[in-house]
Amino acid sequence: MNHMTFVLHFAEDLASATAIAQGAGFQQAAIERHRFPDGELKLRLPAALPARVVLLRTLDNPNEKLVELLLVARTARALGAVHVTLVAPYLAYMRQDMAFQPGEVVSQRVVGTFLAELFDAVITVDPHLHRVATLEEAVPVPQASVLSGAPLLADLIATHYPRPLLIGPDEESGQWVAQAAQRHGFEHAVCHKVRHGDRDVQIALPDTPVTGRNVVLLDDVASSGHTLAGAARLLLAAGAASVDVAVTHALFAGDSVKLIKQAGVGQIWSTDCIAHPSNAVSMAGLIAQTLISHTL
């Protein structure tokens, strides 16, 4: 193992950083953070760094964190780092990959280029890519690695139900549902969704019979909860014995968990890409394995 690689992290990411560092055989070090009354940040890294550095920062609530990435990455190189890897289990600003109206900012392109100027490698989990096929296209770094929480969520689902029906709440979720279903040979299908706004969606169930079935709605991300809640209500009305939810990224903005529960959902499971009470699967092992492969 390469013990001269540091995993840098902020205080709130201590548990994940510890698991990743131990799994990879790396050292870890916390970044000190002070906030001035005007909102500016003062950060402090270790005074000397090895040639290889890993920064762990998941990018939910991303705006301030992007400034942190800029400050940390530039300073890490000034302190001796030659190769800097960003581990961002959740990678923000990936959904806007084209301009739908004149003058719209294509945030994926802007943020992706910003990250590529700071880091030599990026590791993320289930990035929300639509018209862009690979992470390298969105974030043009020399090493771009995509992991998935779907197989591990499938393993968890298998401990609860022998023959669940996995349903994606929309067509975009199809890739993750298929990947999870393949892991254990589960039956799967996807709903059809028409979005009229962030909180205004119409959903049509697939033709697959759901009567008496244990259904798990599986997706890469849960944000407002309206799509999952709408699908759950339709599935229960169609005769599903139960409806649970499994997602990689537990954004769960506002009262979304309450909304989903009120729709009749039983369990809510997520990976630890974003810290949330629903976390039931750890990605640390896969991230550590990927970091090891990068150093070989």
Place of tokens 């560092």: 21
Please, are residues 44 and 32 in contact by the beta-carbon 8 Å criterion? yes
User: How far is Cα 293 from Cα 288, in angstroms, rounded to an integer?
Assistant: 9
Q: Tell me the pLDDT tens digit for each residue of 219-235.
A: 999 988 989 999 999 99
| pLDDT of 296 higher than 90 | no
pLDDT in tens, 25-79: 999 999 999 999 999 999 999 999 999 999 999 999 999 999 999 999 999 999 9
Residue 195 — very low, low, confident or very high, per pLDDT cuts 50/70/90? Answer: low
- Report how far residue 283's alpha carbon sits from residue 13's, in angstroms, rounded to the nearest whole number: 13
pLDDT at 2 over 50: no
CATH number, domain 5-148+282-295, options 3.40.50.2020, 3.40.50.300, 1.10.150.20, 3.30.70.1350: 3.40.50.2020
pLDDT of amino acid 127: 93
Beta bridge partners of 124: 88, 146
**296 or 31: which leads in pLDDT:** 31
- φ/ψ of 258, rounded to 5, equals -60, -45
Q: What are the strands, taking DSSP E only, across the chain? A: 5-9, 27-30, 32-35, 41-44, 52-56, 83-88, 121-125, 143-147, 165-168, 187-190, 192-197, 200-204, 214-222, 242-250, 268-271, 279-281
Which residue do the tokens 């943020």 mark? 111
The top-level CATH class assigned to 150-272 is alpha beta
Mean pLDDT confidence for 283-291: 97
Express each pLDDT in 90-125 by its tens digit.
999 998 888 888 999 999 999 999 999 999 999 999
Question: What gap in Å lies between CA 287 and CA 294, rounded to an integer?
Answer: 11
- What average pLDDT does the segment 10-14 reach? 95
Identify which of 110, 106, 138 has the alpha carbon closest to the alpha carbon of residue 124.
Answer: 138
pLDDT at res. 193: 74
Q: For the chain, give every residue range classified as CATH 3.40.50.2020.
A: 5-148+282-295, 150-272
Assess whether pLDDT exceeds 50 at residue 184.
yes
Across the chain, what does the average pLDDT equal? 93
No. of H helices and E strands in the chain? 9, 16
Q: Please give the biggest Cα pair distance in the chain.
A: 62
What's the pLDDT at 149?
97
For the segment 225-281, what is each residue's pLDDT rounded down to a tens digit? 989 999 999 999 999 999 999 999 999 999 999 999 999 999 999 999 999 999 999
Instruction: Tell me which amino acid residue 174 is.
Output: G
Place of tokens 């954004």: 251
State the Cα angle at 35 between 31 and 36, rounded to 5°: 140
* Residues contacting residue 262 through CB under 8 Å, at least 6 positions apart: 229
